[in-house]
Amino acid sequence: MDRKIGLIIALAGLALLILPVKIPGLAIITCEDWEQCDESVPAPADDKSGPSIVFVYPQAGWTYESVSQIGVSVGDASGVAKVSAKPSWANAVELSVGAGTAGAAGPVWSASVAPLNVEGAHSVTVTAVDNVGNTAQATTSFTIKKPTAAVAPQSVLKGRWFVNDIEVTPKLAKILTTSISLKFTFIKAPDSQTADANIRASVLCNAKDTPDCSKAFESTPLPSVGPGKWEITKVVSNGRYSFTLNADSAGSGSVTYGVIVETGVPDARVNQAQGGLQLPELGIRSVLAVGMIAGGLFIYRRGGSR
C-alpha cells in the first residue's frame, strides 16, 4: 500500500511540474476591452480617489476649425461607472466607452456634440464617477479659428502606428520583445490629404501605469524621416512600459492608441507567446512539484524495502 501511495504522489508531482502553464503576457495580445489587459491590483475597499481624466479631443491650447466630438481617456482602479461632459457652447452629454480603444489614462470615452464653428476661446468640462462613488473633473480650453481663403480645409488624418515593425491596432494591448531597443513609427495613410507639415507625432510614457518612466522617457516627438513617415528609436531598460502613441493635426483629428511593451523578455517566453513550446512556471509550483516527487519516491522505496 505504501508503494502505491508513494507512486501516486510522485506521479502527481511530475504532472504538476511538466504540464503546460499559461504564463501571463503574450508576444501580441488582443483584447476586446482595455480593462482585460490591466494587470494592476484591484482597488482596495477604502478607495477614495477619483478617476484620472486625460483629454484626447479637443486638446488644451490647440486651435481647430470646428469641433463636433469630445473624447477623453479615463481610468480608475475601481472601474469607471459614468462619464459626462459639459461644453461651453452646448448642453451636457453622456459619454460612452469605446471597446478596445485606450489612451493615456485608460479606455477612451466619447460623444458627439452640436458642431462648434464660432471663432474664439471655448472649453469643455468632463466629470467622471468611479464604481465606488468618487468623482473627478477636468477642463480643457481651446480656440476656434477659421482658415484664411488661401488655406484649403484639411482632410481627416488617417494613418498606422508600429512598434518594432509590429502594427498597433485598437485591439492590440501588449507586445513582448527580447530587445531593449524600441522603434516607434507612424505612417500616414496614402489617401489622407493632411499636409505632413501639419502633423505632429509623439510617444508618451504613462506614469500612472509605468513604475519609472525615467528608465524610458516621459515624452518624445517623432521626427519626419520621409514623405508621410515619422520614426524614432529609443533604448530603454528592461521592464514593462505603458505608452500612448499619438499623431495629431489641428483641425483634422488624431490617430491615438495605447500599448503595453515589455522589454528584455527571455527568448523562451516570447517563443511560447508566439505559439512555441510551453514551459513550466517557476517558483512555488516547481518547489511543490519537486517536493511531491521526492517524497513519493521516498515512500515508494521505503515500502519496497519492507
Residue of 189, 240, 245, 215 whose CA lies nearest to 56:
245
pLDDT of residue 128: 93
- Mean pLDDT for back-to-back runs of 10 residues, the chain (306 residues): 70 63 42 46 65 85 83 86 92 79 71 88 93 91 73 64 81 73 89 84 78 71 90 86 82 74 70 43 57 73 66
The enclosing H or E element of 294 equals: helix 284-304
Backbone angles phi, psi at 222, to 5 degrees: -100, 125
Looking at the whole model, is its pTM more than 0.85?
A: no
pLDDT of residue 246: 85
pLDDT of residue 136: 93
**Can you give the residue ranges of every domain in the chain?**
2-21+280-304, 28-273
Tell me the C-alpha distance between 223 and 202, whole Å: 9
Which residues contact residue 55 at a Cβ distance below 8 angstroms, ignoring those fewer than 6 apart?
A: 71, 72, 73, 124, 126, 138, 140
CATH of segment(s) 28-273: 2.60.40.10
pLDDT of residue 129: 93
Tell me the C-alpha distance between 110 and 94, whole Å: 8
pLDDT of residue 260: 81
pLDDT of residue 289: 67
pLDDT of residue 1: 62
pLDDT of residue 127: 95
pLDDT of residue 17: 58
Residue carrying C-alpha cell 457652447: 89
pLDDT of residue 154: 45
pLDDT of residue 23: 38
Tell me the C-alpha distance between 62 and 57, whole Å: 10
pLDDT of residue 121: 93
- Partners of 111 in the beta sheet? 70
Strands 52-57 and 67-75: antiparallel
92-97, long-range: CB within 8 Å, 24+ apart, which pairs? 95/70, 95/126
Tell me the C-alpha distance between 285 and 291, whole Å: 10
Which residues contact residue 148 at a Cβ distance below 8 angstroms, ignoring those fewer than 6 apart?
A: none
